[in-house]
Amino acid sequence: MTAPSSSEAPRVVVVGAGLTGLVVAYRLAARGAAVVLVERDARTGGQIHTVREAGVVVELGAEGFVARSESVPRLCRDLGIESELIDQATTLTYALEGSELVELAPGEAAKILGFQVPREELGRGIRSMRLGMGQLIETLSASIGGRVSRRHDEVRRLSPSSEGVVVELGSGAQLTAAAVVVATPASRATQLVADAAGGAAAGLGQGALLSNASATLLYDASQLGRPLNGSGFIVPARAQTSGFRACSFVTLKFNRPVPDGTVLLRAFFRPTEEDLVGRDIPGWIDLAVASVSGPLHLSGPPRRAWASMWPNALPVYDEGYREAVARAEAALEPHGIFLAGSHFHGAGIDAAVVSAEAVEGRISSRLGLEPPAPR
């Protein structure tokens, strides 16, 4: 069958240019859909945000994906960057007990911290990209290139009609689509799909949410009063102060270059609402320095530092929230509106890609799209 021209191809609007939105756009464009990707922020990538400064790779968002993932390596293979995948160099982890670092059994750190990962994944570590997870975002963005229409705008409303789904943009423009993918945080999705889902939309905004903050610190190795070993340490809940949960020894965790004679550390926090309002980026850096200096016997300030905050970034996937998502999807999909991403289908990068590809498959079946041409 001859692929339809762009004027004949069914239009699919993807709302949100995080990892999920980019993957959906990439996969649907490969099948010949006329994809419009709408993102209100200047930066793409969502909770993946990598910067490269001072000779180091700094993750301000997610640092990797579960080692068992099949979807992310497959995506990287399709994008031609499979050789850029790297494994966690060590999974040895410690717990801070008083002033001592005590070695933990494999998988114990994830259980103590309450990571939402399958039991079989415990102790296996994570994988990442040689240039940081932002390398995946950059490659996806380049790959969709001229095949996807991109709009820097805000979606205000989604309204089902006899012609399809009407997408109202903040600029005043309207698009009519055969299908719409909502790849946004749940709180935003609740507003967008209210007309189509009715009361079923409300449950999306009622689930519990967790916030994250972190600071990455570059020190001279001479400032360390004790040798580094392993991937880092965690702080048991009973000993946590100011939300300090863990410290990653980035220098040892991943085989990435750092300037000679330096070490890279990343401190992780679970902030309260008051923390998010009352502490700015310099404040998080100061707190990180104070939190890691004692356990690692550090002297003096770091050479460079970076920090980021992610308010209400991670849903808690309890049974009630899963049921709310299922109700919303049942109400939305008959109209051609699909929820996608880790805000709906499980935590983490692997879950985001799995969700994107599952939604792409349902849309392709609905619209009768052809399989993509072999690479």
Kindly report, residue by residue over 14-70, the tens digit of the pLDDT: 999 999 999 999 999 999 999 999 999 999 999 999 999 999 999 999 999 999 999
Listed in sequence order, the residues at least 6 apart from 143 whose beta carbon sits closer than 8 Å to its beta carbon are 26, 79
What pLDDT does 108 receive?
77
Residue 138 has pLDDT above 60, yes or no: yes
Residue 8 has pLDDT above 70, yes or no: no
Mean pLDDT of the chain: 91
DSSP character at residue 45 = B
Show the domains of the chain with their CATH numbers.
Answer: 11-45+136-206+316-367 (3.50.50.60), 89-124+209-315 (3.90.660.20)
With contact defined as beta carbons under 8 Å apart, do 96 and 234 qualify? yes
Strand-strand pairing, 209-220 and 304-315: antiparallel
Kindly report, residue by residue over 250-260, the tens digit of the pLDDT: 999 998 999 99
DSSP string, 296-351: HT--S--SEEEEEEEEEEEE---HHHHHHHHHHHHHHGGGTEEE-SHHHH-SSHHH
CA atoms of 96 and 287, how far apart (whole Å): 17
CA atoms of 117 and 35, how far apart (whole Å): 32
**Other Cβ atoms within 10 Å of 374 Cβ, number:** 4
pLDDT interval class at 106 (50, 70, 90)? confident
- More confident of the two residues 119 and 162: 162
> What percent of the chain has pLDDT above 90?
75
CA 192 to chain centre: 21
Residue 10 has pLDDT above 90, yes or no: no
Point out which residues pair with 218 in neighbouring strands.
Answer: 264, 304
| pTM over 0.85, yes/no | yes
Angle at 146 between CA 135 and CA 188, to 5 degrees: 65
